[in-house]
Chains A and B, each alone.
Chain A
């Protein structure tokens, strides 16, 4: 009961912050979607980090470590700590400047203007929404499951999903971006503390201590794979280093970049980002590995941390730590809901005449109405659809957004890039996603068990398409590898083969304001 009360208080605080932010809001889309581009340095860091971290960072990381061992840290956390700050540094800062100069509030608005084409923006919009919405739905599912587990079953899954959907809706509906970033301050601090506190509490109760456990696992051939990477293929590990390219391409991350008050806000963010990832992932991965030794054979390893906390932490502390997990769920979910609403309002409603007809105030009303409708639909879908479908869709979405990174890089840094290059890349990504989805389902029956060699899907094609336990691979590489390189090649080839945008547009995006003034 106590954990439910603690989490309940936490959710109430979140809703209150959203309503306080409402009182400070103005009736403009820039204020609602981007907090008037006034997010300061530290808040920017806390908020962009919350945007990118989901419950996976706590529950999924420990669950994956339970299944695959310590390699998960290098595979997902260390590679993200390297690449995400780099993309924020090179891409995020440029997006911020372009948004500031020309008033863009979404990536799609930038692409449309940069390549002088409405259609390319619409195609990218459709693909982005198709990839983002499953992520939003699975966040609601994750929140419902966590509330159910923390409460020991007192809160049913449907009620848990409902609570998460309602709190997210209230927070975003009233507060917009301002409410969301205010809440993020509280949320990020809470879940950054989660790992360290969980580690300290569990270590107090663990018989023999961590060192003895690790030594014992290392000495036993049945468990040694958990403390090494002997079951993790090197090509799989390398392939994964491309996945964090997706981060800046997720609409909620890119939109967050538009919201900073000054570009200097990015300085602190990019330096602290790898350390913040480490603060969450390292304890969670470590505890997941220890948990695999303590409680072998769990049917749902994602519940390992909750089980360790329930058995080793006082109930009030388990409640606070539960609130930390919910923070991770909601921090990201609120940004996803806001991003979908921003895109529909700016890239569809506003772009196709809604803004002229209904004005700024009408656009904000549309956005608020959309938020209610989209979370209601997401909630219903979360109840009636198996989670596994969305887990797969989200996995593919990371590859898809990563493969869209060459489009953004070309738009920002390559004058000669064209809308046809962007279109070819986008269609390539969509085609790959459809093909991999089909191959994944087709090969489910032949998926090997963990530790076994990958199965060849079509013997006549050799290792072009293999099936590992969880993924389709190509010569041992994850699909993200051909997707990213194919996208980059198509961008280059089709751009070189077609006419570039007008000189006026190229000057607009590639010359500084001063240079253009001087030239004039």
Chain B
């Protein structure tokens, strides 16, 4: 369980870091598919990677315990001054 959480956290951090593609900053080459400057193609690929990351999270980190949420009682007014 801990291992799974660690791996998933590392995955999210890795994907976040990959957004900063400093190596593509000052060049348009190679032009991908003959029309997309590399910086734009990379970030488009990044969007696909983000979707894959979310699919992995849904598969392995889905908050299943929330699925059983059911109405308990009407929201009560706050109890002023108790904190």
Chain A interfacial positions (CB closer than 8 Å to B): 70-71, 73-74, 77-79, 81-82, 85-86, 89, 93-94, 96-97, 100-104, 109, 112-113, 115-118, 121, 209-211, 214-215, 217-218, 224, 227-230, 232, 234, 237-238, 241, 262-264, 267, 270-275, 277-278, 282, 285-286, 351, 418-420, 498-502, 512-514
Contacts and interface: CB of A to CB of B under 8 A. Distances in A.
A499 B65 CA distance: 29
A499 to B, nearest CB: 6
B2 interface: no
Interface of B: 12, 15-16, 19-22, 24-29, 31, 34-37, 39-40, 42-44, 46-48, 50-51, 53-55, 57-58, 62-63, 65-83
A109 B47 CA distance: 34
B60 to A, nearest CB: 12
A432 to B, nearest CB: 24
Nearest to B35: A210
Q: Which 7 A-B pairs have the closest CB atoms?
A: A74-B43, A227-B28, A97-B69, A274-B50, A278-B47, A218-B28, A227-B37
A241 B19 contact: yes
Select the residue from A82, A214, A217, A275 with max chain B CB neighbours within 10 A: A82
B54 A501 contact: no
Given A77-B43, A79-B19, A97 B78 contact: no
Contacts of B57: 86, 89, 270
B51 A71 contact: no
B12 A86 contact: yes
Contacts of B40: 70, 73-74, 227, 282, 285-286
Nearest to B82: A116
Contacts of B25: 228-230, 232, 234
B48 A278 contact: yes
A74 B19 contact: yes
A81 B46 contact: yes
Contacts of B37: 70, 214, 218, 227-228
Contact of B31 (A121, A215, A232): A215
A361 B54 CA distance: 41
B72 to A, nearest CB: 5
Contacts of A500: 83
B31 A101 contact: no
A77 B31 contact: no
A267 B65 CA distance: 14
A275 B48 contact: yes
Contacts of A214: 28, 31, 35-37
B30 to A, nearest CB: 11
Dominant SS at the A interface? helix
A127 to B, nearest CB: 18
B16 to A, nearest CB: 7
Contact of A229 (B34, B39, B80, B82): B39
A392 to B, nearest CB: 27
Nearest to B55: A271
Contact of B75 (A104, A499, A513): A104
Nearest to A498: B83
B13 to A, nearest CB: 11
15 contacts: A86-B12, A86-B57, A89-B58, A101-B71, A103-B75, A116-B78, A118-B77, A211-B34, A218-B28, A218-B37, A227-B37, A270-B54, A275-B48, A278-B44, A418-B83
A513 B68 contact: yes
Contacts of A85: 50-51, 54
B27 A228 contact: yes
Select the residue from B43, B62, B77 with max chain A CB neighbours within 10 A: B43
Contact of A218 (B29, B47, B62, B82): B29
B33 to A, nearest CB: 9
A94 B22 CA distance: 35
A78 B19 contact: yes
A501 B71 CA distance: 22
A440 B38 CA distance: 34
A502 B80 CA distance: 11
B37 to A, nearest CB: 4
A16 B3 CA distance: 53
A116 B79 contact: yes
B51 A228 contact: no
Given A263-B66, A513-B72, 10 more contacts: A78-B44, A79-B19, A85-B54, A116-B81, A117-B80, A218-B31, A228-B26, A275-B51, A278-B44, A282-B47
A415 to B, nearest CB: 13
A103 B75 CA distance: 5
Contacts of A218: 28-29, 31, 37
